[in-house]
Structure 1
Amino acid sequence: MREKFNSFFSNKNTITEISDKDISQTENYLEVVKTFAKLTYQSVYIIDYQKRNFEYVSDNPIFLCGLTSEEVRELGYDFYFKNVGEKDLNLLLKINQIGFDFFDNLPVEDRKNYTISYDFHIINEKKNSILINHKLTPLFLNEEGKIWKAMCIVSLSPNHSSGNIIISSIKSEIISEFNLEDNVWENKKKAKLSDRETEILTLHARGLTINEIAEKIFLSPDTVKFHRRKLFEKMGVENITEALSYATHNKLL
């Protein structure tokens, strides 16, 4: 078990010392994180790679599995061993390895622009398996360019199975998706929405029906449905719920 625990911490990102300059980055940052957590429906937690624990865990229940945020914080990485099945736990260890390998090849000055996203199951307090989407992005690097602290954001996944490993940058139109069968990264372009598609998706996000959207933007319901179908094709999704989740995850709205 301890060997698997240590597998979460790549030798390429092992931090033994933190300098005064590193520490100066973090002044009052947790207050900002706590405020952000209050404004989102997603679960938020902070990993400290130097201490190898969770520094902060929000109160949102999605990620807690019936525990309190303080209990999850105290468990740290042991939370995964208690609430993730063997198959998905091995997947997480794989993601950890390939993620740090990918990160290690990026220019240091560009590293904080990247986010890795993936799906895995957690077992809640009722012993039900729930597929979640997990995003991790660096908050602070040490002077060597290694990840010191990272923010993780957890929400329900729009997908149907574990995996779906994607790395993206806020400064690039290219996303890298990991092919688990071939064990390689594959690059593809982010979906680009037309102004009309963005408008329709935004109105759906506000809770409007197809007929209400059609009336608001002076189109027929059939035309709205046509735009929705094109939207689904671009995103590779099957319904509006998945489309909204995709758009949120990829910052298209």
Structure 2
Amino acid sequence: MMKNRPGHALLTKNRPDNITDNDLSGQHYLDVVKAFARLSYESIYIIDYSNMSFEYVSDNPLFLCGHTADEVMQLGYEFYFRHVPPQDLEMLATINDAGFDFYAQLPEPEKKQYSISYDFHLLTKAGKQILVNHRLTPLFLTTEGKIWKSMCVVSLSSQQYAGNVRIFKQGSNDIWQLNLQTRKWSKNGKPLLTDRELEVLRMYAQGLSINQIAEKIFVVPDTVKYYRRKIFERLEVGSIADALAQAVNNRMM
């Protein structure tokens, strides 16, 4: 029945079957996930692709859209159909196809080193749209090399629009970006900041003013403004809040 809905490819691109006893061994991990959720302001949930369900949903409110965590777990993938606008649901289907095609080409030992990030809108129960960032990485693979379970982290997006699809590899400066029109991936380098620019950005993160930063690094305030402008140019953002979000998302800090 759900296959006729918009975005049905969300349900079909990666569907591992024949889960073996070897796959099932060592699955006592949810206590660790729950501990991580208690320490994070972000929403955490676990997808089980074998039955298109949510195995765990944290009670952090952003992702819940007015539901309880148990209600979202019961909804499973139906949650997306209820709380993602149609145009973004179609986009998620495209990301699903392109993302799993990308992962299928990777050597199996490396698959867990990759994570994907993208932005889409959620509809609250009150009908209000919020733009969120969604990051996903594999937790478990089947013996056939398919992604069985993934951890997902949801936070408020620092972008102005949906999309912004990127894949990162742990320990690498390479970033793959998806063109949603052509459905092609292109590889680019991670944006880099100088040591001084990172130092200035960290001080902004601490809540220091321009004058306070200037005093700490023994420069005049105009020099701090220069560093701020270079940070904005390198990260292609227009505010310190967006610069901080970009630096964190790109693991620069």
- TM tier relative to shorter chain: over 0.9
Any idea what SS the aligned residue of 1:125 has?
coil
Aligned counterparts, 1:113-128, within 5 A: 113-128=113-128
Alignment of 1:147-186 (within 5 A): 147-186=147-186
Structure 2 Cα separation of the partners of residues 77 and 108 of structure 1: 26
CA shift digits 1:191-243 (9 cap, x unpaired): 11211111111111122222221122222211111111111111111110100
Residue in 1 that maps onto 2:70: 70
Q: List structure 1 runs of 4+ shifted beyond 4 angstroms.
A: none
Using the TM superposition, give the Cα deviation of residue 10 of structure 1 relative to its aligned residue in structure 2, in angstroms. Answer: 4.0
Q: Offset of 1:127 from its aligned partner? A: 1.3
| Paired AA for residue 21 in structure 2 | D
After superposition, give the CA deviation of every residue in 1:7-55 in whole Å (9 maximum; x if it has no partner).
21445x321122222122322x111111111111111100011121000
Secondary structure of 1:8's partner? Answer: helix
The answer (yes or no) to whether the contact 1:135–1:154 under 8 Å persists in 2 is yes
Q: Give the distance between the partners of 1:134 and 1:162, measured in 2 at CA.
A: 11
In the alignment, which residue of structure 2 is the partner of 1:26? 27
Greater shift after overlay, 106-115 or 183-192?
183-192
Residue of structure 1 aligned with 2:10, choices 8, 11, 34: 8
Q: CA deviation at 1:173?
A: 1.2
Which residue of the partner structure matches residue 239 of structure 1?
Answer: 239
Partner of 2:56: 56
Partner of 1:160: helix, strand, or coil?
A: coil
Tell whether the 8 Å contact from 1:25 to 1:140 is kept in structure 2 after alignment.
no
Per the alignment, in what secondary structure is the counterpart of residue 211 of structure 2? Answer: helix
After TM superposition, give the deviation of residue 171 of structure 1 in Å.
2.7
Aligned equivalents of 1:244, 1:148: Cα separation in 2: 33
Q: Which whole-Å CA distance do the structure 2 matches of 1:10 and 1:206 have between them?
A: 45
| 8 Å CA contact 2:138, 2:147 repeated in 1 | yes
CA deviation vs aligned residue, 1:143-189 (integer Å, no higher than 9, x gap): 11111110000011111111111111113211111112333212110
Contact 2:94–2:180 under 8 Å retained in 1: no
How many percent identity over aligned positions? 50
Match of 1:87 in 2: 87
Q: Is the 8 A contact 2:98 2:183 kept in 1?
A: no
Match of 1:221 in 2: 221
Cα distance change, pair 178–221 in 1 and its aligned pair in 2 (3 A): same
Distance in 2 (alpha carbons) for counterparts of 1:94 and 1:231: 32
Which residue of structure 2 aligns with residue 97 of structure 1?
Answer: 97
**SS at structure 2 position matched to 1:178:** strand
Please give the secondary structure, in 1, of the residue aligned with 2:118: strand
Secondary structure of the equivalent of 2:112? helix
State how far apart, in whole Å, the 1-side matches of 2:216 and 2:222 are: 14
RMSD in angstroms over aligned alpha carbons?
Answer: 1.4
TM-score, reference length from structure 2: 0.95
Q: Please identify, of 150-159 and 166-175, the stretch whose mean Cα deviation from structure 2 is larger.
A: 166-175
Unaligned runs of 5+ in 2: none
Matched residue type, 2:104: D
Q: Judge conservation of contact 1:118–1:163 (CA < 8 Å) in 2.
A: yes
- 5+ residue gaps in structure 1? none
Cross-structure match for 1:40: 40
SS of equivalent to 1:140: strand
